[in-house]
Copies of this chain bind each other. A is one copy, B any other.
């Protein structure tokens, strides 16, 4: 049998992977959820036709949204995670014994349940006693919070569909309010390679910049995302991602990572000119 899944990266570019078996396929209230078992990438979670993660390379995404802020502020105790229904971000956070409390807000319970059943590699820390899972809209949840979190990670889908509200100006303003003085906001920031994404990146960067004095972007290679070149945002009121990097303290955590290291931490904030041009155009 020759079964292939195709993701359209643009109207004119397809990324196609060979599938062993379609393990799950159902519509939730919010989105279409598929899980495939594949030859090259292991199990793959697909939402509304877009690859969210693969077992082969999810470590890249999940290390880069957690280790970067933890190395800038190793004192982080209270974390809010928005989205992240697959559990990968939670798994990485739970490796830090110093973290005391994690609130996770996922709008779509069905994603959590599907990942618990089919993606044990990422959905392995939902029983951690430090975690409280809220099934609700992150946009509304964060409105009620003030000076409460040291770290907010917005591990959302793209800025259309159920994740849309997590890219609004109101949302970033509320994140700023919900964060402590030393707090950090990390968000997935899309990519600038394909023209069809550029406006979203600009809009997102402009909105975060208006809510935070420090707003920077870092890059990561995620081969199963469109173009393989993915950006994350680092925003805070007081902490700079490189000047305030505490490399030795992070190393003392003794956490073995497969992508992140503290040299790469410094390197990933050095962006290509064509990306800088897009971001500077926001100012």
Q: Within 8 Å CB of A11, what residues of B?
A: 18, 39
Minimal beta-carbon separation of A95 from chain B (angstroms): 15
Q: How many residues of A contact B (CB 8 A)?
A: 42
A147 contacts partner chain B, Cβ-Cβ < 8 Å: no
For this chain, the copies found in one complex come to 2
With a cutoff of 8 Å between Cβ atoms, the chain B residues found around residue A221 in the complex are 193, 219, 221, 227-229, 272
A13 to B38 Cα, complex, angstroms: 10
Chain B nearest CB: distance from A81 CB in Å?
A: 23
A244 at the interface (CB under 8 A from B): no
A143 to B109, CA, bound (A): 65
Complex Cα gap A264–B268 (Å): 8
Closest to A19 in B: B12
7 A-B interface contacts by CB (under 8 A): A6-B16, A10-B40, A13-B16, A13-B40, A221-B228, A261-B273, A266-B267
Given A14-B17, A221-B229, A266-B270, 14 more pairs with CB closer than 8 A = A6-B16, A11-B18, A12-B17, A12-B18, A13-B16, A13-B17, A16-B16, A219-B221, A221-B221, A257-B273, A259-B272, A259-B273, A261-B270, A264-B273
